[in-house]
């Protein structure tokens, strides 16, 4: 049997995408395992989920600069990932820009999920940005991570309607349900070697 892909998830908060990924991996035909959770906040809800699921977790001090990560923390996360044989890093609500060694070494092997249809509404509060702008359709995007903010090649997008009566909460909930489907699908395709990157374009081959 081929080796299963080992996935590390980086998160900062609630951890519902971490949970969706880790749970998807429990299915017998899913070719990957989430083996590591790395958080930058000791209060992150994701830690409790990791404990319940038996996934090892570490709190990494990423520095005091909000939205950014220190050189040391990039090195430390890279070290933990390489020591643990990680083949794919998934950012799931990780609220810092990844840079340094971690970004270089995991180029093409690091994904992020964003709660809007990129390239619209990059950065923070993608759902609120979409509501405020008045778009009629929004959604989520799984993309590879590059050195920009939410700029890497797009792997999967899922759309949801924006309803007249939507609040930020109701729209976020509808998008989140799509996130929980799209992220495992992208990881599965990656683990099965069905993803090819051609510059900005990503092709997913059939199973």
Question: Could you list the active site residues?
Answer: 114
Per the structure block, which two tokens stand in for 162? Answer: 């924006």
Nearest approach, Cβ of residue 64 and ligand GAR (Å) = 20
Nearest approach, Cβ of residue 5 and ligand GAR (Å) = 20
Nearer to ligand GAR, 170 or 192 (CB): 170
What is the C-alpha separation between 19 and 60, in angstroms, rounded?
A: 19
Residue found under tokens 């520095």: 63
Residue found under tokens 């900005």: 200
Nearer to ligand GAR, 146 or 192 (CB): 146
Q: Give SS3 for 27.
A: coil
Nearest approach, Cβ of residue 3 and ligand GAR (Å) = 27
Nearer to ligand GAR, 92 or 155 (CB): 92
Could you give the count of Cα atoms lying within 13 Å of 202 in the half-sphere of its Cβ? 21
Using CB under 6 A, list all residues that contact ligand GAR. Answer: 11, 13-17, 92-93, 113-115, 126, 176, 179
Ranked by CB distance to ligand GAR, the top (closest) residue is: 93
Per the structure block, which two tokens stand in for 187? Answer: 């990881």
Which string of DSSP letters, residue by residue, matches 13-32? S--HHHHHHHHHTTSTT--E
Per the structure block, which two tokens stand in for 65? Answer: 């600069």
Nearer to ligand GAR, 135 or 192 (CB): 135
What is the C-alpha separation between 36 and 57, in angstroms, rounded?
A: 6
Nearest approach, Cβ of residue 74 and ligand GAR (Å) = 18
Which string of DSSP letters, residue by residue, matches 79-119? HHHHHTT--EEEESS--S---HHHHHHTTTSEEEEESS-TT
């Amino acid at each position: 049997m081929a080796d299963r892909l080992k996935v590390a998830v980086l998160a900062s908060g609630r951890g519902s995408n971490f949970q969706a990924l880790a749970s998807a991996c429990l299915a017998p035909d899913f070719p990957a395992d989430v083996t590591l959770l790395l958080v930058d906040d000791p209060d992150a809800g994701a830690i409790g989920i990791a404990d319940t699921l038996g996934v090892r977790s570490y709190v990494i001090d990423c520095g005091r600069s909000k939205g950014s990560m220190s050189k040391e923390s990039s090195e430390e996360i890279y070290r933990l990932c390489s020591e643990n044989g990680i083949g794919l890093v998934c950012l799931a609500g990780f609220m810092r820009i990844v840079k340094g060694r971690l970004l270089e070494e995991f180029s093409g092997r690091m994904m992020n999920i964003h709660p809007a249809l990129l390239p619209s509404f990059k950065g923070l509060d993608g759902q609120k940005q979409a509501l405020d702008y008045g778009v009629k359709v929004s959604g989520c995007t799984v993309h590879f991570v590059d050195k920009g903010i939410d700029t890497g090649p797009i792997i999967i997008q899922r759309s949801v309607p924006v309803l007249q009566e939507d609040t930020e909460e109701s729209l976020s909930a509808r998008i989140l349900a799509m996130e929980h489907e799209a992220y495992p699908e992208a990881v599965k395709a990656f683990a099965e070697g069905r993803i090819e990157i051609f510059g900005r374009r990503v092709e997913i081959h059939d199973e």
